[in-house]
Amino acid sequence: MSRYAFNLLLGFISSALFTSEVFASVVNIEDQRNDETLGASITASGGIDGSKGTTNRRNVNADLRVDYNSARWKRFFIASGAYRTKNDESFVDQRFYHLRAMRDIKGAISGEGFYQRSEDPYRLLKQRSLVGIGIRIAPQEDWRLGASVMHESQSSTARTEGKAIRANLYAHFRRGVAENIDFLATAYLQPRLDGSVSDHLATFQSSLQFTVNQWLVINVSIEYDHDETPPETASRDEFSWGTDFSLRF
């Protein structure tokens, strides 16, 4: 593979990964975990491309991931960003940050804490910040269950602001269905605890993960998102699908 083709591929991968992470009100972190490795690692990727002529375009993507795992602790940090313009007018300006630490307590039970912030003004989300603490249980090899309490702070470009205490409930299932093919399913429910019980967010994501070789993984996914109290003019329900390509070094 030439250096030029590799850079194009890397830019496309960064764009696909970031898009899948930040579009949803509830971000699926389960598929972002890397609990099997020990030690420290840093992964950085990015891409820039554009065109000039009849239509002037510029696309910039950047992703950073830091892992630091020990026998009892699992820690990771993710930062992503995307910026796109057409004829000198921007139409994408997204940022996402997530910091999480998990410690084994006893057997299949772990405790975890996290901080998350997302910004997407072109989808009416000026910012959404979360701080939470909870437990994670692995009752069987294929299942992961979690429950936490978190403080939410968010504001929209429509000049509305709000704070809330929410529960964060999730279930994650992963099983090999064929050689080098895994089926993954994750469901999240985030009801409000300090207000109306009808104020809740929900996400369901299902995917097939194809491990082509030791450095290339292809993920085909579908996702449904629901926000019972979305920003003004935004839809309550969204359905999306996509294909992501991931490089491992």
Q: Which CATH class is domain 3-247?
A: mainly beta
The encoded tokens of residue 151 equal: 């403080």
Give me the percent of the chain exceeding a pLDDT of 70.
82
Q: DSSP label at 70?
A: -
Percent of the chain past pLDDT 90, that is, above it, reads: 32
Given this model, what pLDDT does residue 172 score?
93
Give this prediction's pTM: 0.73
Q: Enter the tokens of residue 96.
A: 């996402």
Is the predicted pLDDT of residue 51 greater than 50, yes or no?
Answer: yes
Q: Which residues of 141-169 are buried (b: 16+ CB within 10 A; e: fewer)?
A: eeebbbebebebebbbeeeeeeebebbbb
Positive or negative: CA dihedral 73, 39, 78, 177 = negative
Quick one: average pLDDT of 205-223? 85
What are the residue boundaries of the structural domains of the chain, listed by start? 3-247
Query: Is 70 exceeded by the pLDDT of residue 8?
Result: no
> In sequence order, what are the beta bridge partners of 125?
120, 156
Question: Mean pLDDT lowest for which of 142-151, 182-191, 222-231?
Answer: 222-231
Return the ∠ at Cα 236 (arms to 231 and 240), rounded to 5°: 115
DSSP letters for 137-155 = E-SSTTEEEEEEEEEEEEE
Distance CA 51, CA 20 (A): 25
Residue 245 has pLDDT above 50, yes or no: yes
For residue 15, give the H/E element and its range.
helix 3-22
The C-alpha atoms of residue 235 and residue 226 are separated, in whole angstroms, by 9
Whether the pLDDT of residue 85 is over 60: the answer is yes
Alpha-carbon span 33 to 122, nearest angstrom: 28
Residues 6+ apart with CB under 8 A from 70: 38
Q: Which long-range contacts (CB under 8 A, 24 or more apart) does 137-141 make?
A: 137/108, 137/109, 137/110, 138/108, 138/110, 139/108
- Res. 159 pLDDT band, cuts 50 70 90: low
